[in-house]
Amino acid sequence: MIDDDGYFGESIAAGYDESTADMFRPDVVDPAVGVLAGLAGDGPALELGIGTGRIALPLAARGVAVHGIDMSRAMVDRLRAKPGGDAIGVTIGDFATARVGKSFSVAYLVFNTIMNLTTQDAQVDCFRNVAAHLAPGGRFVVEVMVPELRKLPAGQTAVPFHISESRWAFDTYDVATQAMSSNYVTVTDGRAEHWSIPFRYVWPAELDLMARLAGLRLRDRWQDWTGEPFTGESGKHVSVWEKPAG
Spatial separation of the C-alpha atoms in residues 46 and 23, rounded to whole Å: 20
The answer to whether 57 and 80 have CB atoms below 8 angstroms apart is no
**Beta carbons of 92 and 6 less than 8 angstroms apart:** no
Would you say 46 and 104 are in contact if contact means Cβ atoms under 8 Å apart? yes
pLDDT score of 4: 73
CA gap 60, 75 in Å, rounded:
18
**Count of C-beta atoms within a 10 Å radius of residue 229:** 8
- Which neighbouring-strand residues pair with 160? 170
Residue 39 parent element (H or E): helix 26-40
pLDDT tens across the length of the chain (246 residues): 456 778 888 988 998 899 889 999 999 999 999 999 999 999 999 999 999 999 999 999 999 999 999 999 999 999 999 999 999 999 999 999 999 999 999 999 999 999 999 999 999 999 999 999 999 999 999 999 999 999 999 999 999 999 999 999 999 999 999 999 999 999 999 999 998 999 999 999 999 999 999 999 999 999 999 999 999 999 999 999 999 997
End-to-end alpha-carbon separation of the chain, Å?
46
The predicted pLDDT at position 3 comes to 61
Q: How many CA atoms lie within 13 A of 143 on its CB side?
A: 21
| Size of the chain, expressed as the number of residues it contains | 246
